[in-house]
Amino acid sequence: MNRDAVAKISVRGLKKSFDRKTVLTGLDIDCAVGESLVIIGGSGTGKSVLVKCILGLLRPEAGSIRIDGVETVGVSAGARERLMHKMGMLFQGGALFDSLKVWENVAFGLTAGRSVEREAAREIALAKLAAVGLGREVGELFPAELSGGMQKRVALARAIAAEPEMIFFDEPTTGLDPIMADVINNLIQKCVRELGATAVSITHDLVSARKIADRIAMLHKGLIIWEGPTAEIDRSGNPFVDQFVNGRAEGPIEMEIRAL
């Protein structure tokens, strides 16, 4: 299969740094149409930064990000807004609007972004909430009245409410119990299989990664150091990946810590 011809998202030579700190150092990655890509990697390696660059929320210093074959780095605000219609994002911290009720949060992309009627949007929102295991009564609460895991699920419902072509999940199962985590995994699979969406997920949860990923890529020191089909993660032959998958403190990935 010629990846370049069908790539939904194609990143080349991406560089991003903050003040003195370099995070991404010329990263390349592709994601095919309808594919579920999972990005793994140590804490603070720049996974969230990568996704924010693809979404256009952060501006990279160098490199190219093509979506459907069209360059998106440095496009006009209007073009960016049209691009955003194709994308949904679950933020690591949820990023729920705390001045709005839960259902208004979920319906936000429909009412504000796509001018759907409030009542119709409300019904869609309640249906999406039900899909993440939250009842109608939760819809009337405010985000601050929910537990962390519930907030995560509301954020997930919001990200998929408008059924975007491309969905980004930043740690979708962190902070959920194992059963709810599996419900969310199923939901992500459903988005990809039934809606034909392209999904890019970030996770530390390898159970989840194995379940939702078609392909897994590992980020380390600003580069993708390994990528391959999900089945190959256990025989990658890459010492970094092995250390990460087996969760060992000893190995080539040095944690910047000192013993007590």
Partner 1 sequence: MLSFLRAIGAGFFAFLGATGRLFLFALASLARVLRPPYYLRATLRQVIEIGYFSLPVVGLTALFTGMVLALQSYVGFARFNAESSVATVVVLSMTRELGPVIGGLMVAGRVGAAIAAEIGTMRVTDQIDALSTLSTDPLRYLVLPRLLAGLLTLPFLVLVADVLGVFGGFLVGTYKLGFNPAAYLEQTHQYLEAKDVVLGLVKASVFGFIVTLTGCYQGYHSRGGAQGVGQATTYAVVSASVLILLSDYFLTQAFFTR
Ligand X SMILES: Nc1ncnc2c1ncn2[C@@H]1O[C@H](COP(=O)(O)OP(=O)(O)OP(=O)(O)O)[C@@H](O)[C@H]1O
- Can you give the binding site for ligand X, defined by CB under 6 A? 18, 21, 23, 41, 43-49, 92
Q: Does 160 bind partner 1 (CB under 8 A)?
A: no
Looking at 113-121, 144-152, 187-195, 228-236, which segment touches partner 1 (CB under 8 A)?
113-121
Listed as own residue / partner, the contacts of 227-233 with beta carbons closer than 8 Å and 24 or more positions apart are 227/29, 230/38, 233/206, 233/209
- Smaller CB separation from partner 1, 92 or 230: 92
Helical axes 178-195 vs 148-160, angle rounded to 10°: 0
Q: Which stretch binds partner 1 (CB under 8 A): 89-97, 177-185, 194-202, 216-224?
A: 89-97
Strand 36-41's sheet: what is its strand order?
Answer: 87-90, 166-170, 198-202, 36-41, 215-220, 223-229
Residue 151 binds which of Mg ion, ligand X, partner 1, none (CB < 5-8 A, kind-dependent): none
Which of 158, 211, 215, 220 forms a contact with partner 1 (CB under 8 A)?
A: 158
Residue 109 burial (CB count, 10 A): 22
Q: Which residues have a Cβ under 8 Å from the Cβ of 54 and sit 6 or more positions away?
A: 9, 11, 65, 67, 168, 200
Q: Which residue is nearest to Mg ion (CB)?
A: 48
> In the bound complex, what is the minimum distance in angstroms from residue 44's beta carbon to Mg ion?
8
Q: Which residues bind partner 1 (CB under 8 A)?
A: 52, 55-57, 77, 80-81, 84-85, 87-89, 91-93, 95-99, 108-109, 112-115, 158-159, 162
